[in-house]
Structure formats: C-alpha cells, structure tokens
Amino acid sequence: MRSKKWIGDDGTTVLAEAYLRRPTDTDGLSVGTTPQAVKGLLLRVKGIAILRVNDIRTITNMDTRIHLDVVLNSDSPTHGNINTGIPYLSDNPILAEFFAGELARISKLLTENDT
Amino acid sequence: MSNQIYIDESRANALLARPRFSIPEPITSPNQSQAVLQMTAAYVYALTHIELSKTIAAIFQETNQGVTDPDVCVLTHVEPSKTIAAILQKIEESVTDAEMYDDNESRPTEDVVRGIKELVQGTEALLPGVRFPTAIVRPLDGSIRITWVKESGTVRLVYSENPVDRYIFHEEVLGGRSYSSGIDRHPTPRSLASWLEWLNSR
C-alpha cells in the first residue's frame, strides 16, 4: 500500500480506500505474490496487506455473477492484478465501493515482523 | 447490551445532586450528547433517543421503587471521537496531513472542506444525543470521505467538488460480507442523519 490513508487510524486495519480503482490503475489493482515481491515493485510502500486468492474469488458482482480474480503478469509471474470487473470509482461508484469494502474485509495488514 | 444512556449534562448534574433518583416527570428527549449517565446496572440499553426516553423513564420508575443503589450512576464525558462534532477536527487534520496524499494527488478545495463541514454540522443538529461508531476521514483525489463502520454495516459520505460525484454509500454486512449495498446520490443533513440512525440501530 502506497499511502498512509489506506490504513485505519488504529494502524491495524486496511481501509476500503486501498482498493478503489483510480485513473492511474490502468491494469487493475496491483498485487504481488509475496511481501518481497511487493517490495520489489520499487514503489513507496507504507504497508502490505495480505489477501488469499481463494477469498478474492468469492467476491462476486451480483449483477453479472462474475467474480474477482487475480491475473499474474506473463513477464513477471510474482506480480499481477485484480482485474476482472473492478470499475473505476468514477465510472461505477456503487460497485467500486462494494468491491473495495469486500477486499478490505478479507485483508490482513502485515506487521514489520510478518514481512 | 449497552450499559450507557445519554442525557443532557445539566439534567445529569441535577439528577446526580439528588440523594435518590426521584424524577417528577418522565424525560421526553435527550439533548446534546454532552454527558453520559453510565449505569452499572445491567438492564439499561438504548440506541435511539426514542427508546432512550422510554428507557430512562422506566429506569427511574424502578429506582423510585427502591431497586437501585445510591452509587449506581457515574457521570462521565462521551468519548470525543464518537460525536459528530469531533469529526470536524478530523477533517481538518486529514486534509492538512501531507502523508495522506500520493504524489501529484489533488487536494480538497476550500469549498469541499467547507461544504462537508456544513453537511456534518447540519446532521449533528438532527441527531441530538446519539453516539456513533468512530468515524474515519480520508481525502481522496480532491474529495473527502467519512466512513462509519460497524460489524453489521457501513455508512460512507463522499463529498466532491462536483455535486454529481457526491453520495452516501451504505451497506449491510453479515458474517463479514456485504449483502445489501446502495448509494444515496443526494447527500443532505437529513439523508445522512437517516443513514446514521439506520447504522446505529443495527
């Protein structure tokens, strides 16, 4: 997570804001397969959240019945995106907020010791 | 079951000054949540001010019958983060915190900050004496987002420069998953008060 604003005020929870797809997220929501892979993205990292892929796949768009999924990059298999059906916040706020909340609820914020 | 009820601070002080609780008339409505009368007795719970007034009246009927102990009540202050008024401070803190922004991210304009504060202040006036889950305030791409979360639901006010992008998101949560969500695209003090009362009642 690149920003402090994505972490709750208590410093232990991941907020829905972490999973809102913004204009710069052209390929979806970026993920790494391990904490080390996330650190390797050379981004400014304020924290790392862990999500189980199986849990991500249980999150479904109630209208289309399409579930979220993680697609790994062919050229960098330790990195990928959650990119099936997550709309930009500006395009579909209700669905974007719904997905963001669901992803936040299945997230666990890793501590420094975890990473 | 909650063991806290809210009453006006002056009323609370007047009650506590009495050697015994003997209310001449039932309390019909609580005022601002300036004080909380914390009951150590286990039978007190009230989440809405309507239920609250009934509950208070019932309690004092019982106390008049000698059920209670003189030491049963303690006056304490409401935790500041649980009042709507405290959110105004959180808004100010979050929008001025440089760490809340990505590189090149738009900041909320003064109009956005003023607008959301006015909306919150207007809401407070409609919710006398009501306590809420702690609010989380975050700026995002020029907007300000205020989220109230309970295990059973979420209410989020999103306030942007463009009125079209303002809304109240609400969802019910059961077993850690959202099963009913929606958006109110015309956030007003009344609509926000309504959704917060909904959240509070869950």
Q: What residues in A contact B181, CB-CB < 8 Å?
A: 94, 97-98, 101
Residue A113 pLDDT level (bands cut at 50, 70, 90):
low
Asked if residue B89 and residue B62 are part of one domain, the reply reads no
Question: Is B165 in Cβ contact with A3 (below 8 Å)?
Answer: no
Asked if residue B63 and residue B143 are part of one domain, the reply reads no
Asked if residue B88 and residue B72 are part of one domain, the reply reads no
Asked if residue B104 and residue B67 are part of one domain, the reply reads no
DSSP A16-65: GGGG-B-TT-TTSEEEESSHHHHHTT-S--S--EE--HHHHTT-B-TTT-
Interface probe with A: pick from B81, B94, B158, B169, most Cβ of A within 10 Å:
B169
ipTM: 0.89
User: Which chain B residue has its CA at the smallest distance from A91's CA?
Assistant: B165
Asked if residue B56 and residue B42 are part of one domain, the reply reads yes
Helix, strand, coil percent values for chain B (each to nearest 5): 35, 25, 40
pLDDT of B107 strictly over 90: yes
Question: A68-94 pLDDT, tens per residue?
Answer: 999 888 888 888 889 778 999 999 999
- Which pLDDT does position A42 carry in this prediction? 62
- Which pLDDT does position B124 carry in this prediction? 85
Q: Where are the alpha helices (DSSP H) in B65-170?
A: 84-95, 110-126
Mean pLDDT of chain A: 86
Answer yes or no: are the C-beta atoms of A81 and A88 closer than 8 Å: no
- Which pLDDT does position B58 carry in this prediction? 52
pLDDT of A31 strictly over 50: yes
Q: Print the domain residue range for B55.
A: 4-76
Q: What percent of chain B has pLDDT over 90?
A: 43
Q: What percent of chain B has pLDDT over 70?
A: 58
Q: Which two tokens stand for residue B144?
A: 């300000």
Tally the domains of chain B: 2
Q: Which residue type is seen at A112?
A: E
Nearest residue, CB atoms, B171 vs list A3, A101, A106: A101
pLDDT of A8 strictly over 60: yes
Q: What residues in A contact B94, CB-CB < 8 Å?
A: 5
pLDDT of B74 strictly over 60: no
Asked if residue B90 and residue B185 are part of one domain, the reply reads yes
pTM over 0.95: no
pLDDT of B193 strictly over 60: yes
- Which pLDDT does position B194 carry in this prediction? 94
Asked if residue B68 and residue B91 are part of one domain, the reply reads no
Asked if residue B137 and residue B190 are part of one domain, the reply reads yes
Residue B8 pLDDT level (bands cut at 50, 70, 90):
low
Asked if residue B110 and residue B190 are part of one domain, the reply reads yes
A39 touches chain B (CB under 8 A): no
Asked if residue B163 and residue B63 are part of one domain, the reply reads no
The C-alpha R_g of chain B, in whole angstroms, comes to 20
pLDDT of B171 strictly over 90: yes
